[in-house]
Chains A and B, each alone.
Chain A
Amino acid sequence: MKFDTPAGPNPIDRMKVVGQPHDRVDGPLKVTGTAPYAYERHAVAPGALYGFILGAAIAKGRIAAIDTRRADAAPGVKAVVSYLNAGPLGKGGKNTAKLLAGPEVDHYHQAVAIVVADTFEQARAAARLIDVDYVRGSGAFDLAAAAPTAPLTGGSSKEGSAAPKLDRVGDFESAFAAAPVTLDATYTTPDEAHAMMEPFATIAAWDGDRLTVWTSNQMINWAHEDLAKTLGFAPDKLRVDSPFIGGGFGGKLFLRADAVMAALGAKAAGRPVKVAMTRPMMFNNATHRPATIQRIRLGAERSGKLTAIAHEATSGDLPGGSPETATSQTKLLYAAPNRLIGQRLAVLDLPEGNAMRAPGEASGLMALEIAMDEMAEKLGLDPVEFRIVNDTQVDPEKPGRQFSQRQLVRCLREGAERFGWRARDAQPGRRRDGDTLIGLGVATAFRNNINMKSGARVRLGGDGVVTVETDMTDIGTGSYTVIAQTAAEMMGVGLDRVVVRLGDSDFPTSSGSGGQWGGNSSTSGVYAACVKLREAVAQRLGLDPAACDFADGEVRSGGRGVALTSAARDGELVADDTMTYGTLGKQYQQSTFGAHFVEVGVDAYTGEIRVRRMLAVCAAGRILNPKTARSQVIGAMTMGVGGALMEELVVDTRFGFFVNHDLAGYEVPVHADIPHQEVVFLDEADDKVSPMKAKGVGELGLCGVGAAVANAAYNATGVRIRDYPLTLDKHLDRLPEVGAMRRA
């Protein structure tokens, strides 16, 4: 099915099942510990050996020699594989760095070898007996040092919004020079880790020249393609299976070393091998959200109308890598006739930078939305009003092009009302609760909507059960549930009559999970397959499909109702289809919007910033399931608090690696950091997007949170911090002296 004209009325509009806050259908499996995650799938490959990956001890250079004799001789060891005996390997299209080093080392903790042994402990102990002789090379590890000479590149973040090299509309320089009120400020965001709960994990088993990997991956199709390419064999000999994923946040979008090394280890040992990456290795072995340096210039009339916007961002990556497209939202968010947008990319020899939840916008809004707060203050305008004044209903670069739906203003107004924004003191540093300085902050949330082609197969069994099969993944988002709801709505059956099977490369290729496209795209694919199945059912029953209504387990036509089950009495009905998209995404700008409101308390003595209240108002098309959507948004808000206040991969610019590479050093929020979070969804349905009329929310919920926290902290203290994370050392020396200190 091709979606190329706005959706008319369709069965989803009934919203009997879709749009209802159903519990997750996979919930009981998760809470009883019976959802089969990759590393615990003991039954799929009984007697599997254990693999342990050795990571490179240097960031850049060459392996002069590898001596595995001590490891080979260690107890229980069945195989040791390094580049010396792995055979020729290709490189996947989606990963920048090779997944096995040798002889060149491209980054710290790049996989150097896998040891396969009878037990995990034996493999781990033997891995340390591999003697690797490294020749250190020199590398570039310091973004600030590389930034001044980084070339303009533009580019795409592979998952998410693209950034042009240099985008000009009007004459930015003249308009900026002429503007009565201007801002020119530079913001930085650090490298961040996905830090998902489940580590990279794979069980690999060969059967002759056929390979199966049970793994944890967001994009089955990409993993399938890139693993076949890396190992240099035909994709049809490979099966990738990943029904449950313990979080990914973009870290599992691509093929990673666990799958490649497990496959190599299993081949060498002649037996199935299971591999999980240890936590301390994940931070440097895998990908991360790249640090950015962002310069923003704003010029406005005294009325508050922006006349000039410039946003230039620099990030770094390995040679051949891609930028963090931090400027992408600035192309679309606020009106202004003169605009300049530029994206630079430095070569850095740090681990690979790549997509992490809301790549581009998450980092970009952390900067842009502080700049908007600073500018509002310069103009003497309320930050909510300032954003409303500069709203646009058209693409500012192509004014003929409308947004498919844009209710940012409503999000801001409704959020302000609900949050009690009026209580905010425009003058910072004045509200107190004992020794705590109180501040309120706001920021716009914006994330583009992306549609991906997505296929599914739907079966109607003789028992009346509707089974959906697609290689779509559920990374904790609720895919199982919204897909079941879609099939139930389309076929007119209860959720209990629907079975959803995901994550298997033998199933039709789906959108996968990334870029907040999964919910809308995968359910649209299921919609397409269900339309076909409805036709098959009608045909089998001798009815006109166009005149049929599927409800309450019946097919109704012309006042007559037939049990749906009867259509499959003589054999299962199967329908297969893929939803593809026409040019509506070009005709209309499709984006999701929201407003984040945050209250923080800052300890007047120690400068510790803690969040006290949070509210998100989201406008993101039809909400397929308010409960799972809310979970997505509060999870994203939590991640936003982490990015605002604590998360930072610290680069050792001498040795070229992330130093704090475990969960003690890389701090993410704990329960005590997260207060009550409120989420409101505006009642929307966007007919230009898909027959589901839905968009994504999983990333929207993160976009802007960091800046809302930063703006609240400024409102509390009167000290502006432009470098994330906002740790206390960045404002301590500028905080006012308080209480007992004055005595001293």
Chain B
Amino acid sequence: MKAFTYERATSPAAAAAAVAGRPGAKFLAGGTNLLDLMKLEIETPTHLVDVQDLKFDRIDATADGGLRVGAFVSNTALSADPRVMRDYAVLTRAIQAGASGQLRNKATTAGNLLQRTRCPYFYDTNQPCNKRSPGSGCAAIGGYSRQLAVIGTSDQCIATYPGDMAVALRVLDASVETIDPKGAVRTIPLADFHRLPGKSPEIDTVLAPGELITAVTLPRPLGGRHVYRKVRDRASYAFALVSVAAVIQPDGTGRVAFGGVAPRPWRSPAADAALPHGGAAVVAQAFAGAKPTRDNAFKLPLATRTLAAALTPARTA
């Protein structure tokens, strides 16, 4: 870990300005991802702006019947909110399928969205990795890639976005509210929030330097049956090999997003439209053009089978 300076921000705009004004500055929320990465010198911020005092810890109803979730609301609090449990069960299930109780107590809504990949080569600073040090190469291509992405990749990076919560948010059409150093506010649909790697895999999201997340908003409840199914090698405390978030209406229509397969939660209108035709049809649409590696080709049939499980009404988990 490199030495760094630290401050606690007192207002959103000041926080944004503090980060934008200093090269190498970063926001600190729960710290469950950032501090780990700093210890390994994968992230080397020179200055941390702690956002815990900014009062982003409320979940409020919005005028159009949805919810506005403060950026600092913990994963535990969000997943246990009675409104979320009732109207957005897919979100509760996704969050509770992630990490551990202790981590969820500390992890925040914004921090969770911004968690970085779990590609093992990204974690080993002796190995080439374009995401960690641009231009150094990608050790995962031709290496061990069982956990990595099958679609949305580039010849520069094949990492996944590893999180669970965002997969549910994607299916719910959530959006991210931000404020920039000048105090300007914008709303980014979750669909546009995470970037594909292309030629610059080091940039995970569309956030500008210093742009601070203030909230995540959920549109009006969708009804339907909410499913989050996370498949992994052990029963708990592991990242998804494949996950499926789905909201299925009684008539068989609905929405579906996949986790663990791409650099961002993976969803497409064509795939949603195929839902009444069953899991295989959805996967054929969603994964058209997939480029799996030898190690992770199993994720395609696994996605089909997992979705089939999710579509079987007897199953609720």
A interface, CB within 8 angstroms of B: 57-58, 75, 121, 124-125, 128, 280, 434-435, 603, 605-608, 610, 645-646, 650, 652, 654-655, 659-662, 664-665, 667, 669-673, 725, 727-729, 732-733, 738-741, 743-744
Contact = CB atoms under 8 A, between A and B. Distances in A.
Contacts of B143: 652, 654-655, 659
Contacts of B233: 608, 645-646, 667, 725, 727-728
A606 B118 CA distance: 22
Contacts of B126: 57-58
A323 B128 CA distance: 33
Contacts of A655: 127, 139, 143
B231 interface: yes
B278 A743 contact: yes
A606 B306 contact: yes
Given A607-B302, A670-B234, 11 more contacts: A280-B40, A605-B306, A608-B233, A667-B233, A670-B237, A671-B236, A733-B298, A740-B309, A741-B279, A741-B308, A744-B278
Interface in B51-107: none
A739 B144 CA distance: 33
B238 interface: yes
A647 to B, nearest CB: 10
A505 B306 CA distance: 57
Contacts of B235: 610, 670, 672-673
Nearest to B315: A435
Contacts of B277: 744
Nearest to B142: A654
Contact of B231 (A58, A280, A606): A606
Contacts of B231: 606, 608, 728
Contacts of A662: 123
Contacts of A725: 233
For A125, A605, A645, which residue has the most chain B Cβ atoms within 10 angstroms? A605
Nearest to A642: B234
B243 to A, nearest CB: 11
Q: DSSP class of B's interface residues: helix, strand, loop or mixed?
A: loop
B301 interface: yes
A506 B157 CA distance: 56
A443 B78 CA distance: 46
Nearest to A606: B231
B312 A435 contact: yes
10 contacts: A435-B314, A605-B308, A605-B309, A608-B231, A650-B146, A659-B120, A659-B121, A665-B120, A729-B298, A739-B309
Contacts of B239: 664
Interface in B123-144: 123-124, 126-127, 139, 142-144
B120 A660 contact: yes
Contacts of B237: 670, 672
Contacts of A659: 120-121, 124, 143-144
Nearest to A610: B235
A732 B234 contact: no
B305 interface: yes
B311 interface: yes
Nearest to A652: B143
B180 to A, nearest CB: 33
Contacts of A650: 144, 146
A727 B309 CA distance: 19
A610 B231 CA distance: 12
A646 B241 CA distance: 13
A646 B234 contact: yes
Given A645-B234, A673-B234, A741 B304 contact: yes
A740 B309 CA distance: 7
For A121, A672, A744, which residue has the most chain B Cβ atoms within 10 angstroms? A744
Given A435-B312, A605-B305, A645-B233, A741 B280 contact: yes
A740 B234 contact: no
Interface of B: 1-3, 39-41, 118, 120-121, 123-124, 126-127, 139, 142-144, 146, 229, 231-239, 241, 277-281, 298, 301-302, 304-306, 308-309, 311-312, 314-315
Nearest to A733: B301
A111 B54 CA distance: 45
B134 to A, nearest CB: 19
Contact of B302 (A121, A670, A732, A739): A732
Contact of A739 (B127, B146, B241, B308): B308
Q: DSSP class of A's interface residues: helix, strand, loop or mixed?
A: loop
Nearest to B309: A605
Contacts of B40: 280
Contact of B305 (A646, A667, A671, A732): A732
Contacts of B121: 659
A607 B298 CA distance: 11
B238 A667 contact: yes
Contacts of A58: 126
B24 to A, nearest CB: 15
B305 A606 contact: yes
Contacts of A280: 40, 123-124
Contacts of B302: 606-607, 728-729, 732
Contact of B236 (A607, A660, A665, A670): A670
Contacts of A667: 233-234, 238
B143 to A, nearest CB: 5
A617 to B, nearest CB: 26
A732 B301 contact: yes
A726 to B, nearest CB: 10
Contacts of A605: 305-306, 308-309, 312
Nearest to B242: A606
Contact of B144 (A606, A652, A744): A652
Contacts of A661: 120, 124
Contacts of A729: 146, 298, 302
Q: Which 8 A-B pairs have the closest CB atoms?
A: A744-B278, A605-B309, A672-B235, A729-B298, A744-B280, A57-B126, A672-B236, A741-B308
Contacts of A669: 234
Contacts of A732: 298, 301-302, 305
Contacts of A610: 235
A688 to B, nearest CB: 42
Contacts of A124: 1, 39
A740 B306 CA distance: 10
A649 to B, nearest CB: 11
A738 B309 CA distance: 9
A744 B309 contact: no
B157 to A, nearest CB: 16
Contacts of B308: 605, 738-741, 744
Contacts of B241: 728
A665 B1 CA distance: 21
A338 to B, nearest CB: 40
A741 B41 contact: no
A480 B233 CA distance: 37
Contacts of B236: 670-673
A128 B306 contact: no
B280 A125 contact: no
Contacts of A744: 277-281, 304, 308
For B229, B233, B237, B309, which residue has the most chain A Cβ atoms within 10 angstroms? B233
Nearest to A57: B126
A140 to B, nearest CB: 17
A660 to B, nearest CB: 5
B278 A740 contact: yes
A451 to B, nearest CB: 37
B124 A607 contact: no
A669 B2 CA distance: 34
B312 A128 contact: no
A388 B279 CA distance: 47
For B1, B229, B234, B298, which residue has the most chain A Cβ atoms within 10 angstroms? B234
For B139, B143, B309, which residue has the most chain A Cβ atoms within 10 angstroms? B309
A119 to B, nearest CB: 11
A606 B305 CA distance: 6
A110 B1 CA distance: 21
Contacts of A603: 309
